[in-house]
């Protein structure tokens, strides 16, 4: 059994991840600033509601933890992250800087950071015949929004912590992720979820030409 922390454990990806790790017999601590309670069954060993923009909370969250899955972020669908810039960058830089330093001080063995496909430059995605993006295509940098710039910055921060302190760090770049128990309304939902909701709620189903 490993002692695992999932930040953002009240969100869609975090709750599903925590549920999987918990089902494998691990001790799973979930931390989030709020819990939507979409998951009806218990999917954690320990639950804490705290704001990870605050340094002391990050120290508390990472105590006696072997692995950190850092999914905590102020984020939402494309409509949200293209309309909100300063709040997203401010909150997420604080969360990620504190979480990395707290993990170092508490001697966490392995750390995962959840980045985003928003780090990729716009000039690589203007052609409809675009070639599949590779990890190295994030440079030269030109993310299309502030959220993407914050994610790319934190990727480099992770690289620096791994180089300077020897922390075993992994980085994932998510694209659109949606499914059961996910956000589907309110302005922070992903595009596929919003489209499905609009179809389901349409008052006029229209017609299909065969």
Q: Which of 151, 48, 54 is nearest to 101 (CA)?
A: 54
Q: Which of 40, 56, 23, 41 is nearest to 31 (CA)?
A: 56
Residues noted as catalytic? 147
3-state class (DSSP) for residue 69 = strand
Residue whose token pair is 């972020």: 73
Q: What is the DSSP letter of 124?
A: G
C-alpha to C-alpha distance for 197 and 200, rounded to whole angstroms: 5
User: Quick count: other Cβ atoms within 10 Å of Cβ 57?
Assistant: 19
Phi-psi region of 187 (alpha: psi -120 to 50; beta: other; left: phi over 0): left
- Cis previous bond, 140, omega within 30: yes
Are 155 and 115 within 8 A, CB to CB?
Answer: yes
Are 84 and 141 within 8 A, CB to CB?
Answer: no
User: Quick count: other Cβ atoms within 10 Å of Cβ 37?
Assistant: 9
């Amino acid at each position: 059994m490993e002692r695992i922390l999932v930040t953002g454990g009240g969100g869609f990806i975090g709750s599903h991840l925590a549920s999987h790790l918990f089902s494998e017999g691990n001790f799973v601590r979930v931390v989030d600033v709020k819990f939507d309670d979409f998951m009806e069954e218990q999917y954690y060993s320990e639950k804490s509601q705290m704001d990870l923009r605050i340094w002391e909370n990050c120290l508390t969250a990472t105590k006696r933890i072997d692995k950190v899955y850092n999914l905590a972020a102020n984020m939402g669908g494309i409509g949200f992250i293209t309309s909100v810039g300063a709040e997203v960058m401010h909150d997420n830089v604080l969360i990620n800087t504190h979480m990395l330093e707290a993990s170092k001080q508490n001697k966490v063995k392995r750390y995962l950071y959840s980045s985003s496909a928003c780090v990729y430059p716009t000039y690589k995605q203007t052609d409809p015949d675009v070639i599949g993006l590779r990890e190295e295509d994030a440079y030269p940098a030109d993310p299309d929004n502030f959220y993407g710039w914050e994610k790319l910055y934190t990727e480099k921060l992770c690289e620096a912590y791994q180089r300077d302190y020897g922390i075993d760090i992994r980085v994932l770049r998510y694209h659109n992720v949606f499914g059961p128990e996910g956000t589907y309304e309110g302005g922070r939902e992903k595009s596929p979820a919003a489209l499905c909701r609009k179809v389901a709620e349409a008052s006029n189903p229209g017609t299909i030409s065969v």
